[in-house]
Structure 1
Amino acid sequence: MKRLFSLLAMVCLLAAVPARAQTVLQDAETTALFNDMMRPIIEAAGLDPKNVNIVILQDPEINAFVAGGQTVYVNSGLIEAADNANEVQGVIAHELGHIVGGHVPLGGRAMKSPTGITIASLLLGIAAVAAGAGEAGAGILSAGQRAAMGSYLAYSRTQEASADAAGARFLNKAGVSGKGMLEFFKKLQGMEYRLAIPQDNAYDQSHPLTGDRIAALTKTLESSPSWNKPESPGIEKRFERVQAKLEGYIEPLDDVLTQYPKTNTSIPALYARAYAYHRAGYPQEADAAAAALVKDDPNDPYFLELQGQIFLEAGHPQESLTALRKATQLSNYNPLIATTFGHALVSTDDPKNYAEAETVLKQAVARDDDNPFAWIQLGTIYTRQGDEVHAALAKAELSDITGDIPMAAVSAKRAMAGLPEGSRDWLRAQDILMVSQNAMRDKKH
């Protein structure tokens, strides 16, 4: 009977495999790059770039995926493994194929068939065990599970092939070379060879054989007028910077110094070392690398952001203000950069800076109201200024974002009690209260 329960658990795992927790990496420069390099491809897919989100996850696996909606998740490992921006464009074009094809919503429907096979074989197995034929029952169960898995994997391979073809079409229509897409597949194929993954039988794989994928895409991509079109030098240069700062932020200092030795004074190398030194606790070295970047281009908002961030996180908020104020202005008040600047103003503990902090943080949440840290800082400013009503509203916004439903309701009710009825802020508090109350009511049922 214990074996029976373990097999039943395997049936459940077929239908739902929970994803492990991953850290979302938010960076203004990286977001701007991905928006620019993917916009023509997203439009070619018939989607609105405003509705498509590309989220970077801190995960060493070379992977990208969609999980519903119009969000593409890209692992940091994929960005680090790519040789150029065009390879990443090819991978994301494939993921857009999944979105346009509705593969994620349809996936649950497709699972009904293989799961049904497994449950049917499970019932037959129970009958056989009950009749005393234990080995026969186990055999039926095993065969049923394999049939279920085979059915689902076949469906998955069909989806992947469809997404490949769609991604190739999007690249061609956008006038973007498909070389990166093919090169990345070849890179994956090389890894498969090294890992001794079979290249002659796709039955047990969720994707078509990589060699078959390359063969199926080559003619379509090579026949496009954009096949030999080079990547924009500006995009490639920006990608090298983003890739370097990502490696500096994630990888161990020794690895970063091996890849970007001190003798390398290029912008990507300085970027990588500045982040790596800062994260590893070498403030003087981090300051020097950041200063060299700012000296190279005093009006680059991302260099200034880094310099200010290093001062701020080293416990010198007052010294960070000049760089962060300029970075905020030059970036047209990018919400992520503005939030860092607002945090620096709050951290000075100087009441003279509170009015500016409130203005900056209100602008940040107006452009991105889904930023918990910005709401925390704005709530802190309101509290320090004695504005408990707006502090309560900020707490309601924060709780709504983070899923603390009871606190969202309590804070929204407290804010409504002190706000002019019918005002914009009162209506916003009312919205949060109503949504929270409905969520709590649904939870009870």
Structure 2
Amino acid sequence: MIVAFRRLATLLALLCLTSLAVRPAAAQSVLRDAETEALLMDMARPLFTAAGLSPANARVVLIQDGSINAFVAGGQIVYIHSGLIDAADTANEVQGVIAHEIGHIVGGHAVMQNDGGYTNISILSLLLGAAAMAAGSPEAGTGLLMMGQRAAIGKYLAFSRVQESSADAAGAQYLTKAGITGKGMLSFFNKLTALQHRYGFYSTDPEVDPFAQTHPMSADRVETLKADLQAAPGWNTPLNADLERRFKRVQAKLRGYVNDPQTTLRLYPKSDQSAPAHYARAYAYHKSGYPDQARAETEALVKLAPADPYFLELEGQILLESGRPADALAPLRQATEETGYQPLIAATFGHALLATDDPANLPEAEKVLRQAVARDRENPFAWYQLGTVYERKGDEPRTALATAERADLTGDARTALFSARAAMAALPQGSVDWIRAQDIMMVSQTAMENDKKKRRRLQ
């Protein structure tokens, strides 16, 4: 019986310590798209600057998750869920969310850091509960543990509400300093309030305790911010027409990529001949296995703007994934050149060159892919393609190094370790590539050792 209660104590402690944490971004599905990343940074750049942060060291990362959420997890990175982009009516609303999250960054409110003493209380209650159980009082030990966890959660929630209110105020300041209207911030909070009403989470429900929420209730947040935002010089500043136009395109292509195709086709019927509608339907048809219809939509896009690199990228991507890599080369080459060798587009172009299985395309593929990884090392797909280039050339050491790079990015420490060792064994000692392989080997070895220690502790 005592063993059972000890297991229960361990389970409860682990549950309490993890239930409030946001999953690390690395464990979630990151969506990479050149057009989307360019838009999000153009939207966020003036806000990072207004917050005193360097945009060159900041990023906005899109996560594939249908929930309406955004978060920070250390560093100068804002993570936004795809569900938030889908729910927003304007780019300005997303800017309001980004401003709020930058407030968390500046305030040092990273997930599960500066938690107001939550973790300390949890550990204390665990120790007290375990001591009572060891003394032969399992029921008392369980009671102590549960009381401690309840107190810990209460303190964490109160601390979280303070952080959210602080981030609201900071975000409003950044919008004002950047000359961006705060109407989007308020309208998005109104959306959250409507959702709370719809699902019974608003304070008019007597069963809902506003002090048991991690965020201040949205209606209260709106009232607190409204006066300051409306008094700001930029309140009546018109929305940025270019950002709003680009946002509708990105939103449509994201919906086409993420949502069920039938849902996309209902939202963007054939009668809608706008660029966003063609975008959405192209992805919907491509996902459904209708290549002819998908190509027809991309051809309509290219006809609207023949030099638009993102339309050309999509045309090439669909041709490539439909088994026509040779036909994909021209639009992908043009898209790559039009964007100054944007790494994500260049990686797709490199893939198409390799997919032709024409040895004459190998030198260009190597050039394109080397440029891609030089400018964006955090692209496992590009490293895989570059590794394929080296393999076809018979360059085993650099094949191993490219494999190590890819495995390191995907969290495969074992493959990264052995591939890095293989690269080091054949590369000239002290060369740039040898030093990089050594770095990966050391990081991977440490990761594997830490993993072994964790497994031993759990046994």
Whether TM-score is above 0.5 comes out as yes
Instruction: Quote the Cα distance in structure 1 between the aligned partners of 2:443 and 2:192.
Output: 46
Q: Pick from 11, 16, 20: which aligns with 2:13?
A: 11
TM-score normalised to structure 1 length: 0.92
Paired position in structure 2 for 1:48: 54
Task: Determine if contact 2:350/2:366 at 8 Å carries over to the other structure.
Answer: yes
CA gap of 1:130–1:169, structure 2 versus 1, over 3 A, is same
Instruction: Quote the Cα distance in structure 2 between the aligned partners of 1:399 and 1:340.
Output: 19
Paired position in structure 1 for 2:186: 182
CA gap of 1:413–1:125, structure 2 versus 1, over 3 A, is closer
Q: Pick from 410, 414, 420: which aligns with 1:412?
A: 420
Could you say what the CA RMSD is over the residues aligned between the two structures, in angstroms? 2.5
Q: Is it true that 1:398 corresponds to 2:402 in the alignment?
A: no
Q: Which runs of 5+ in 2 are unaligned?
A: 454-459
Q: Is it true that 1:84 corresponds to 2:86 in the alignment?
A: no
Deviations 1:281-315 (A, max 9, x none): 11111000000000111110000000000000011
Paired position in structure 1 for 2:104: 98
Helix, strand or coil for the counterpart of 2:114? helix
- How far off is 1:439 after superposition? 4.7
Helix, strand or coil for the counterpart of 1:353? helix
Q: Which has the larger displacement, 434-443 or 259-268? A: 434-443
Instruction: Quote the Cα distance in structure 2 between the aligned partners of 1:142 and 1:417.
Output: 55
- How far off is 1:120 after superposition? 7.2
Number of aligned residue pairs: give it. Answer: 442
CA gap of 1:63–1:418, structure 2 versus 1, over 3 A, is same
Q: Is it true that 1:326 corresponds to 2:334 in the alignment?
A: yes
Helix, strand or coil for the counterpart of 2:63? strand
CA gap of 1:127–1:218, structure 2 versus 1, over 3 A, is farther
Paired position in structure 1 for 2:122: 115
Paired position in structure 1 for 2:297: 289
Instruction: Quote the Cα distance in structure 2 between the aligned partners of 1:417 and 1:139.
Output: 58
Task: Determine if contact 1:117/1:148 at 8 Å carries over to the other structure.
Answer: no
Instruction: Quote the Cα distance in structure 2 between the aligned partners of 1:409 and 1:143.
Output: 45
TM-score normalised to structure 2 length: 0.89
Paired position in structure 2 for 1:156: 160
Q: Is it true that 1:271 corresponds to 2:273 in the alignment?
A: no
CA gap of 1:92–1:420, structure 2 versus 1, over 3 A, is same
Task: Determine if contact 1:41/1:174 at 8 Å carries over to the other structure.
Answer: yes
Helix, strand or coil for the counterpart of 2:212? coil
Alignment of 1:3-42 (within 5 A): 5-6=7-8, 8-17=10-19, 21-42=27-48
Q: Is it true that 1:165 corresponds to 2:174 in the alignment?
A: no
- How far off is 1:191 after superposition? 1.0
Q: Is it true that 1:217 corresponds to 2:225 in the alignment?
A: yes
Q: Which runs of 5+ in 1 are unaligned?
A: none
Instruction: Quote the Cα distance in structure 1 between the aligned partners of 2:267 and 2:422.
Output: 54
Deviations 1:154-192 (A, max 9, x none): 111111111111111111111111111110011110111
Q: Which has the larger displacement, 287-296 or 11-20? A: 11-20
CA gap of 1:211–1:301, structure 2 versus 1, over 3 A, is same
- How far off is 1:196 after superposition? 1.5
The one-letter amino acid of 2:342's match is N
Instruction: Quote the Cα distance in structure 2 between the aligned partners of 1:253 and 1:223.
Output: 44
Instruction: Quote the Cα distance in structure 2 between the aligned partners of 1:254 and 1:440.
Output: 44
